[in-house]
Amino acid sequence: MITKTHFGTLEAGKEVYYYTMKNAAGMSVKICEFGGAIMELRVPDKYGRFADVVGGFDCLRDYVLSPGYIGALVGRTANRIKRGKYKVDGKEYSAYCNNGKNSLHGGKVGYSHRVWDVKAVDGDEPKLILTLHSPDGEEGYPGNVDVKVTYALLSSNALSIHYEAVTDQRTVINLTNHAYFNLGGYASGKIFDHILQIEADRYVVTDEELIPTGVLRSVEGTPFDFREPKPIGRDFEADDQDLKIAGGYDHCFCFTGGETKEPVLRVAAYEQNTGRFMQVFTNQPCIQLYSGNFLDNPEHPLKGGYPQTKQSLFCLETQKMPDAPNHAGFNDITLNPGEKYDYTTIYQFSVK
């Protein structure tokens, strides 16, 4: 079942709507045209009680003005690019620098702050097909790029996100979704007790500006080793320079074996009080674990007036490595005419 609801009006006069998808099991998700944002995601606990497990806002203005990219689709390149500079075929391009001296999540007006076209396809497993045209030169990126993101609410209580894109000129692209999770419910407090497992043997080391140094470090013997399940908070206060620089986890984890043809299970998160269990399947090579270290903006409270507080939500952003064009040996994020950018991430919910 899909319903469409008016959400607000942008300053330019554009009307914005959100769509609610619900499956037969009662799981539901709200997706906004603005930024393609996941506004709400309601899943049951071990007693069958439903709660909203993602951060979001009650009004359109907060999505427009709040930092944090809460729930949004981000692009043309997710994550950071040092000084906004990168090369394609030897030619240097400059992306807009919106994060200090660096470019973050697509620039000044990335895909997170665009109004997407939405086509609703109802049924037992309802879908929303979001499309966006990104013109040549937008935010300093070459090529006309047409993006399609399909959100599907599966009967198995999973949310599938299928990313597709084509270009008419060689360019760079790295898409993700920036949903913020707390499996206890978005307003249930700190995330430190969540049990997390990530099938990643290396992570990307960053400098004081959270820009990759080019080093891929083994997780062995570090706070970044989530190959066996452990609480997010267990090593949070460890004497580790990479953790201290970021104020917690804000790092790209490289999956063991890298990219796959089809989505495979890479991440699992478990909240013991509710029994909610989330598994992340993807064919992407990496994931950014972000522990909400900058969630402290009092001007933009979350739904119901709940304040933004640090480490109350976490992100699991499937993607390729940040600043990839500037590092030999990092993932290739170039897209050529005639090729298709084609990746899928599935957030599967259950209880245990």
Active-site amino acid positions: 178, 317
Whether 312 and 183 have beta carbons less than 8 Å apart is answered as no
Closest CA to 282 of 111, 102, 159: 159
- Coil vs helix vs strand at 105: coil
In the chain, the N- to C-terminal Cα span, in Å, equals 27
Helix or strand run (H / E) with residue 63: helix 60-65
Q: What amino acid occupies position 209?
A: E
DSSP string for 199-222? -EEEEEEE-TTS-EEEEEEE-TTS
Phi-psi region of 11 (alpha: psi -120 to 50; beta: other; left: phi over 0): alpha
Say how many residues make up the chain. 352
The tokens describing 226, both together, are 């989530």
Whether 331 and 325 have beta carbons less than 8 Å apart is answered as no
